[in-house]
Structure 1
Amino acid sequence: MIDTSRTFRMNSFLLHVLIALLMLLQVGCGSEPTPPSGSAPDVSANGPTRPIDSGGPVLSFQTQSHDFGDVLDFGSHDVEFPFVNAGTETLQVFEVRPTCGCTTTKLQKKIFAPGEGDTLRLTYSPKSSGRQVKKVMIRSNDPVNPLQSVEISADVTPVIKINPPSFSFGSIDIGDGAIGQISLEAAHPGYTATSVRLGGRLAPHATAALREVQSDEGSPRQWVIDVVIEKDVPWGIQNGSIGLTGALDQEDGTRSRHSRSIQVNGTVSGKLQTSEPTFRLLLLEPDKPFSKRITIKHADGEAFNLFSATVLEARSGNLQVQVLPVADSGGSEYQLLLTGDTTGFTGAIVGKVNVRTDVPGEEEIDIRISGVVMPPEG
C-alpha cells in the first residue's frame, strides 16, 4: 500500500526546497533580467485588477514600479508606494520581503480597515553597476492576490572600476603561499581610494596593501591592491573579503564615503586530496537522519595513516564522523562518513571535520561542513 501521508510530506518538502532555491537566486545583488525597452512593468505576480469596493480585503497600490534613472553606486535613494485597502474587510499584511540585500523597507503598521491606507517606503543602496531591477514581495490576506510585488529600477554608474571584481587564486600548493593583484581605476573624477582591509578566514594568513600607480596625463587615477597569501596558510578552501574604502568629491563641494567589498578565495592542497572540498549537505529535511561521504586519498598513491577524524565547532547536535579504509587501496585511500540527525533542529548546520594523518606538512587538516535544515510543516 502506498503511504500517501509520506508522499504528501515529501512533495511538500520538495516544494519548500524549490521556493528556497528561487529566493536564493533572487537575493543576490547582481542584475536581474532587464525588460525590453518600452515594455510594460512586470506585475504578473499581482494578478488581475479589481474594482474598488470588491468583496473581502483588497491590497491596491497606486503604482507598483519606480525608475530612479541614472545614479552612482553609492549613497541611498528613497521612494514611496502608497496603497489602500480597497475591499470590504480588514486587510492584514503578513510579510514585506526585499529580494536583494541592497533594498530595505519600512511599513508603519500591518492591519488596515476598509478604505484605510498607508505608504510602503523603500530605500535602495546600489551595490552593482549597470541596469538594475529589484523587487519587493508583499504577502497579505488578499484572497485573490495574496502575493504582490513592487519594483524599482536604476541605471547604476560605478565610481570605481575593479578588475577583477572578485579574485581567485585557484589551487595553491601547501607551504608555497601565493601573490596576486587587483587593479582599480577611478570611473569618477572625484574618486580617491583611501584604504583596504582584509577579513574572513584568510585574514590571519594573508595581507592586502593599497598603492597608487602612475597613470598617463589626462587618464583616470589608478591603484593596485597587492594581495599576499603567506606560506603558513592551512589546507582546504580559504576565503575572505577585502573592504575597499574611498572618498568621492562631488560637484556641490561635498565629500562622501564610498565602500566596496572584493571577495578573495583559494584552495590549498598538497599530497592529500579529497573528492569534494567540503561536506556540502545542501537542504535537509527536518526530523530525519542524513549522511555524507567524502573520499580522501594520497595523490601519489602512497599508503598513509589516518589516525583520527573529529567533528569540531558544530552548531547542531548528533554530528559524527567515521573513518572507513577503502578496500584494495593499499592504505592510500579512506572514506569519511559524516552522519547526523535533524530532529528538533532547523537553520544552518556548520562545523568542520578535523583529520589527523602522518603525511608531512599535512598532519592536521580541516574539512568544512555546511547545510541548511528546512523548517517543519506548519
Structure 2
Amino acid sequence: MMSRRIHAMVLAGLLTGVSTIGAALPPPLPPLTESEVALKPAASRFTVDRAEHDFGTILDNEPKEVVFHFTNTGVEPLIIGEVKSTCGCTVPELVKKIYQPGEQGEVIVRYNPHGKRGNDARSVTLETNDSTQPSVKLNIKAHVKQLVVFEPTLLQFGQVDKGKGKTMEFYVAGRTEDFQVTLATTTMPDVFTVELGQTEVREIGIDKEQLRATRLIIKLREDAPVGMHTAELTMRTNDGRAPVERTQVLSQVLGDIQVTPPRISLGRIERGQSFTREFRVQSRSGQPFHISQIEARDTTADVSFEFMPEDAKNPTSWKVVMSGRAHPQERRILGQLLIRTDVRSEETIEVRYNGFINVGTEPGN
C-alpha cells in the first residue's frame, strides 16, 4: 500500500514537471524606443559643432582655413583613427587621436584653391570608434575666381597640314585697374610665335566678368616641322601678385607621312611585364616610301622594333611592332620614337609613347 502511494506521488511530480516545461515562455522584452535610445549613453560619441563650411567667393591665390570643433559626449574615450581628404588641395590637421569623455577637440582644415575655378567642394573623413557614426565627413566648399583669367583656357591648335600655319587669339585678364601683360615668349619659337596686342576691358571667364585683358596673337609657323608640338607660353604681368603666368600651347603638324595612332598608349603594365604594341606608318597621298630605322629615346624601358611594308610591291603603308620591358625601378614609361624615312622634309618622324606601371607588384617573367 505504501509502495503504491509513493509511485503515485512520483508520477504526480513527473506530470507536474512536464506541464511546467511545456508551459509558454514569458514574452520577449519590447525593443527600445527612439527616445530611450537617445537617453542611453554611447560608449564614445563624436559630436561636432557643424559638418560643413562655405568659404564663399575667393580668389585662387588665397589659401583658406577653417576649424571644426567637436566634443566626446560619450562615457568612454573617443579614438580617432585615419584622417583623410579627397584632394591634396585640402589638408586636415588633428592635434591628437584620443579624447576623454567630455573633452573637446578641433579639426583644422586648410584649403588651397590654386588651379581651381568655379564651384569647388571637398571633404575630410575621420574614422572613429563611435559606433553610431564610425565614419564622419566634414565638408567645405567655395566659389573660386582666378586672379588671372585665360580665354580660351587651353591653346590647342589641333591638327594642321604642313605648310598651312594657323593663328589664334588668346586673352589674359587681371583684376587691377591698370593690368596688362608686358612680355610673352614661347619655349619653341621655331614652331610658335607670340605678339602682344591691345589691352582693354572685356567680358571674360566663366563668370562673364568685365576685366582688363591683353590680347595675344599666337601663330603656328608655316614652316613648323611635322609632328606633335607642345610648348610653354610664359607671360609677365604688372600685377605683383601674379608676376609670371604660364600655360601650354599644343599642335600636331601633319605631313604626308601619318602615324596611327599619333601617340602610343601602353596603358597599365604589371611591374616587370613585357609589352607589345602595333601601329601603322602611312602615306596620306598614297605615295610609296621606305623606313630605314626606328630608334627610341627612353630611359624608362628597353624597347625594340620590327617594321615591314604591308605591300612589298607598293610600300605606302608600314606595320610596326614595338616590344619592350620597363625597368624594374620605374613607375612610368615615357619615351619618344624617331622614325627615319626617305621622304623629303620628313626624314624624321617623332612619336611619343607612355604607360603606367602598377606599383606593389613583383617583377614577372
TM-score, normalization by structure 2: 0.70
2:180–2:199: 8 Å Cα contact kept in structure 1?
Answer: no
Contact 2:294–2:305 (CA<8 Å) still a contact in 1? yes
1:272 aligned to 257, 262, 265, which one?
A: 257
Asked whether the equivalents of residues 319 and 339 of structure 1 are also in contact (C-alpha less than 8 Å), the reply is yes
> Could you tell me which residue of structure 2 aligns to residue 224 of structure 1?
215
**C-alpha displacement at 1:265, in angstroms?**
1.0
Letter in 2 for 1:153: K
The 1:243/1:61 distance shift into structure 2, 3 A limit, reads farther
Alignment-derived partner of residue 171 in structure 1: 159
Greater Cα offset, 67-76 or 365-374: 67-76
Residue of structure 2 in register with 1:376 after alignment: 360
Which residue identity lines up with residue 57 of structure 2 in the other structure?
D
Shift of 1:326: 1.5
User: What CA distance in whole angstroms lies between the structure 1 residues aligned with 2:137 and 2:168?
Assistant: 43
Distance 1:305 1:69, change over 3 A: same
Separation in 1, partners of 2:200, 2:80: 62
Deviation for aligned residue 1:182? 0.8
- Residue equivalent to 1:235: 226
**Match among 186, 206, 209 for residue 195 of structure 2:** 209
Give a deviation string over 1:113-160, Cα, whole Å, max 9, x none: 35485533313224343222234566x686988876543211234455
Deviations 1:245-297 (A, max 9, x none): 5455xxxxxx6336654332111120001111111112223332221111011
- Once residues 323 and 278 of structure 1 are traced to their aligned partners in structure 2, the CA distance between those partners, rounded to angstroms, is 17
- Counterpart residue identity of residue 162, structure 1: F
CA deviation map 1:180-224 (0-9, x unaligned)? 2213455x4536133455566x466323333324669xx853321
Query: How far apart, CA to CA, are the structure 1 residues paired with 2:173 and 2:217?
Result: 15
Q: In the alignment, does 2:340 pair up with 1:352? A: no
Deviates more, 1:155-164 or 1:58-67: 58-67
Give the gaps of 5 or more residues in structure 2: 1-40, 203-209
Q: Which one has a bigger Cα radius of gyration?
A: 2
Overall identity of the aligned pairs, in %:
18
Tell me, in whole angstroms, the C-alpha distance in 2 between the residues paired with 1:275 and 1:224: 36
Distance in 2 separating the partners of 1:361 and 1:302: 15
Matches within 5 A, 1:232-311: 233-246=224-237, 256-257=241-242, 260-311=245-296
**CA drift at 1:83:** 6.0
Aligned length: 309
Whether 2:61 is the aligned partner of 1:74: answer: yes
Does residue 319 (structure 1) correspond to residue 278 (structure 2)? The answer is no
The C-alpha deviation readout for 1:273-328, integer Å capped at 9, x for no partner, is 1111111112223332221111011111111110000111332x332222232246
RMSD: 3.7
Cα drift, residue 237 of structure 1: 1.8
Paired residue secondary structure (2:285): coil
Query: For 2:179 and 2:109, how far apart are their aligned partners in 1?
Result: 32
* Equivalent residue, structure 1, for 2:10: none
- The whole-number CA distance in structure 2 between the counterparts of 1:59 and 1:352 is 54
Instruction: List aligned pairs for 1:76-155, cutoff 5 A.
Output: 76-82=63-69, 88=77, 91-93=80-82, 96-99=84-87, 103-105=89-91, 107=93, 112-115=97-100, 117=105, 119-136=107-124, 149-155=137-143
Question: Structure 1 residue 352: deviation in Å?
Answer: 0.8
Counterpart Cα distance in 1 of 2:177 and 2:153: 21
Structure 1 unaligned segments of length 5 or more: list them.
Answer: 1-50, 249-254
Task: Please say if residues 164 and 182 of structure 1, whose CA atoms lie closer than 8 Å, have aligned partners that are also in contact.
Answer: yes
Q: What is the Cα deviation at residue 357 of structure 1?
A: 0.5
Q: TM-score, normalised by structure 1?
A: 0.67
